[in-house]
């Protein structure tokens, strides 16, 4: 990707990831950047054999035209919401940035940290679901793990006001 900045945004197309995506577009993305949507699918979702080849390194970078194509996204088991697609399409056009997606399979905590080195990313933005203390203690916080273990600056965009 040359000399351009690679800004990563963790997306699962939930309301909190959409808020993180919007924040990254509004506050970080600038002309010439690559906005890389990083999504992590649970292990075991393989519709085709090629995905097993990508298990350790993640999918190839998927261009915006494929992200906005429902048939291509269905192949990967991903269902982007219209609002997120609008955010990235508008950002690509207005800010003159390149938008692409990379899919990983496995544990979100580990794969998001690995994506920083694998892609590589200059920074990573992610949302938090605002789990209560008990749920966070039981489930563990993805954002907390990534903040403490990723090898780049991480911004957590809180989903609740």
Burial, 158: exposed, middle or buried (Cβ in 10 Å; 0-12, 13-18, 19+)? middle
Which residue would you say has higher pLDDT here, 158 or 146? 146
How far is Cα 45 from Cα 65, in angstroms, rounded to an integer? 23
5-34 pLDDT tens trace: 999 999 999 998 999 999 999 999 999 999
The total domain count for the chain is 1
Residue 29 lies in a domain: yes
Whether residue 136 is predicted with pLDDT greater than 60 in this model: the reply is no
How far is Cα 64 from Cα 38, in angstroms, rounded to an integer? 13
pLDDT (average), residues 101-120: 93
Domain span including residue 58: 6-158
Residue 1 lies in a domain: no
Whether residue 2 is predicted with pLDDT greater than 80 in this model: the reply is no
Quick one: pLDDT band at residue 144, thresholds 50, 70, 90? confident
Residue 14 lies in a domain: yes
Residue 15 lies in a domain: yes
Q: For residues 35, 30, 97 and 116, what is the CA-based torsion angle, rounded to 10 degrees?
A: -20
- For residue 94, give the nearest of 86, 102, 83 by alpha carbon: 86
Q: What is the pLDDT of residue 1?
A: 45
Whichever domain contains 25, its CATH number is 3.40.50.620
pTM for this one? 0.88
Residue 59 lies in a domain: yes
Residue 84 lies in a domain: yes
Residue 89 lies in a domain: yes
pLDDT (average), residues 48-63: 76
Q: What is the pLDDT of residue 10?
A: 96
Q: Tokens for 101?
A: 């997606």
């Amino acid at each position: 990707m040359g000399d351009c900045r690679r800004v990563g945004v963790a997306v699962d197309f939930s309301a909190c990831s959409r808020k993180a995506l919007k924040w990254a577009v509004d506050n970080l993305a600038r002309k010439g950047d690559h906005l890389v949507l990083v999504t992590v699918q649970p292990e075991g979702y393989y519709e085709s054999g090629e995905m097993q080849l990508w298990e350790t390194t993640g999918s190839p970078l998927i261009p915006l035209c494929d992200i906005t194509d429902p048939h291509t996204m269905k192949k990967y088991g991903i269902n982007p919401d219209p609002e997120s697609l609008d955010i990235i399409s508008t950002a690509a056009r207005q800010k003159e940035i390149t938008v692409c997606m990379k899919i990983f399979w496995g544990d979100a905590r580990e794969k998001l940290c690995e994506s920083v080195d694998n892609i590589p990313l200059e920074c990573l933005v992610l949302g938090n679901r605002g789990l209560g203390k008990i749920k966070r203690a039981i489930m563990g916080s993805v954002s907390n793990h990534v903040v403490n273990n990723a090898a780049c600056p991480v911004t957590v965009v809180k989903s609740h006001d």
